[in-house]
Structure 1
Amino acid sequence: MSALFNFQSLLLVILLLICTSTYTHYVFPSIMDRNRDGVLGIFWKCARIGERLSPYVSICCVLMAVSLFMGS
């Protein structure tokens, strides 16, 4: 089943996108800051979400890991 049709998988993809964008912005801030507009602006926005809401994103990652562990 595709991640678009499974809500839990869609949430996992969004969390991974936020976490990856935040880490990439931490390592390469100039590349991310240059691409604020357009299609690549999605990654910049995800990085901002990860930086500003990091405790909540961390809690969501832990809850998702626990739910995936319990589900399998």
Structure 2
Amino acid sequence: MSAILSFESTVFVLLLLVCTATYLRQYRPTLFHRDHTELHKKFLYKCSVVGDRLSPWVALGCFVMAIRVLFVY
């Protein structure tokens, strides 16, 4: 099944995207500006902001998904 059609896979992909964008923002801050006109750069910026501001909730989501992957599958 595609990752878009499964809710669990979609959440997993979004969590990975948020964590990756937040991590990469430390090393390449020029990629993550608010005033970009390209849609994918705006989306990466918003993902990195979500990762910064909601880091305890993102960490909890990653922990829950890790437990789910380890013990449910």
TM-score after normalising by structure 1: 0.90
RMSD: 1.5
Name stretches of at least 5 consecutive residues in structure 2 with no aligned partner.
none
SS at match of 2:4: coil
Q: How many angstroms does 1:71 deviate by?
A: 1.4
Q: How many residues align?
A: 72
Q: How many angstroms does 1:63 deviate by?
A: 0.3
Which amino acid in 1 is paired with 2:26? Answer: Y
Q: How many angstroms does 1:8 deviate by?
A: 0.6
Report sequence identity in percent: 36
Name stretches of at least 5 consecutive residues in structure 1 with no aligned partner.
none
Alpha-carbon separation, structure 2, partners of 1:63 and 1:8 = 11
Alpha-carbon separation, structure 2, partners of 1:20 and 1:35 = 20
Please list every run of at least 4 consecutive aligned residues from structure 1 whose deviation after the TM superposition is greater than 2 angstroms. Answer: 34-38
Which amino acid in 2 is paired with 1:63? Answer: V
